[in-house]
Amino acid sequence: MKSQFGRFNRRTFLKTSAAGMGALATPAIISSKALASSGEINLLMWSDEFPGDVIPNFEKATGIKVNQTPFSQNEEQLNKLMATGGEGFDLCQPTVNRAPQYLDLDVLAPFDMSKMTNIGNVLPAMLKSSTDLWTVGGDLYHVPHCWGSEALSYRTDLYPGDPAQLSFGSLWDESVKGHVQGRPHSYLLSIGLWWDASGQMPSNRMLDGYKDEESFKKLWDPILAFAIERKAWVRQFWDSADNTKSGLMENDVWIGLTWDGPALSLKKEGKPVNYTAPKEGAIAWVDGLSMLKGAQNVEGVYAFLNYLHTAEVSGAVADGSGYNPVVNGADAFTSDVFKKNFQDAFPGDALANLWPWPPEPTWYAEIRSQYADKFKAA
């Protein structure tokens, strides 16, 4: 399957810039109509994707209050939307590859693109990741917010292996037994990616498991058996950015399969943590925003989206979270530390070797959750 990122390479626009990450100014592109707005918008949001002054500065600029309801996993968000029918929220934050699951809920409203005045600022490859999967009947139901990856983070003072030789197989080395963390379903996927790259179990980089349930089970049954047999390697399963960090800093985790944001935030703070893509390739994703059918402040929604799709704000989101911007020119509003951390995370041809999560139909998500639960419970 072709990468959702196409030929996208953030090094083409993360060039050294004289402009560092200063105080986030009110973007001039916020319309006078938005500045005169008021009221509230209710945001169902990833817990770590609106850092620092991103939301407070929008509230000051527009008079629109943003009520924040954080979550830590797509499953948590899906369950909340299912339980409420989407009522009570104006915006939610699906990951791009989960389109089949969110669209199946039938709680989203299409965007009026004539009101998306800053959509032209979004990097074409990023916007394509949304339009390819979230366009129904000519209407778009998702726009990008940030992108990130899931790869290997490790304690530079504790990990005993060679960082230059990192592989998903490194998570199962005898030297790290009892000191590894990961998210259950990603843990299992990474075994398959490792086995495919090493020739132990060819799987078309695990894409064969997306064909149907029989194909899924053929690949995942031996993976699950391997993981359960070696459960003693697992120090903890993480389910949020916060306990990813606490695992590394407080729970004797030496290495793990984690999102980039939490690990790079620790590295930025000067902690002995590094994050890098393994030789099999980092797992990649795009998080975005979708509007609910029951949205009460539609004008406020568009004011917020147009604010987020400015270089200043997209850069601030990235610099504060450790994830990556989706707007052209955002590099001018990220720090030199952010740029260096990105280069460290994706050395050599690592960006060309990304593994974007493929579109996940509901059947796939359900059966994968069953396998993840079996791993956790073993």
Pairing outcome for strands 143-155 and 283-292: antiparallel
pLDDT of residue 6: 38
Under the phi-then-psi rule, with left for phi > 0, alpha for psi from -120 to 50, and beta for the rest, what region is 52?
A: left
DSSP assignments along 99-142, one per residue: HHHHHHHT-EE---GGG-TTGGGB-HHHHHHHHHHHEETTEE--
At 213 the pLDDT is 97
Determine which helix (DSSP H) or strand (DSSP E) holds 41, and give its type and residue range.
strand 40-46
Contact call for residues 322 and 7 (beta carbons, < 8 A) = no
pLDDT score for 345: 96
CB 207 within 8 A of CB 246: no
Per-residue pLDDT of the chain (378 residues; tens, 9 = 90+): 333 443 333 333 333 232 332 333 444 445 444 444 569 999 999 999 999 999 999 999 999 999 999 999 999 999 999 999 999 999 999 999 999 999 999 999 999 999 999 999 999 999 999 999 999 999 999 999 999 999 999 999 999 999 999 999 999 999 999 999 999 999 999 999 999 999 999 999 999 999 999 999 999 999 999 999 999 999 999 999 999 999 999 999 999 999 999 999 999 999 999 999 999 999 999 999 999 999 999 999 999 999 999 999 999 999 999 999 999 999 999 999 999 999 999 999 999 999 999 999 999 999 999 999 999 999
pLDDT score recorded for residue 267:
97
Q: Structure tokens of 223? A: 């993976």
Contact status, residue 287 vs residue 99, Cβ threshold 8 Å: no
Alpha-carbon torsion, ordered 117, 120, 126, 131, to 10 deg:
70
The model carries a pTM of: 0.88
* CA pair distance 77, 97, nearest whole angstrom: 14
Is-same-fold flag (10-147+284-352; 150-282+353-377)? yes
Among 377, 7, 63, 3, which residue's Cα sits nearest to residue 224? Answer: 377
pLDDT at 15: 34
How do the domains of the chain map onto residue ranges? 10-147+284-352, 150-282+353-377
Distance CA 90, CA 191 (A): 38
pLDDT of residue 300: 97
Highest CATH level, class, for 10-147+284-352:
alpha beta
List the CATH code of the domain at 150-282+353-377.
Answer: 3.40.190.10
- Going by C-alpha positions, the residue among 319, 328, 341 that lies closest to residue 22 is 319
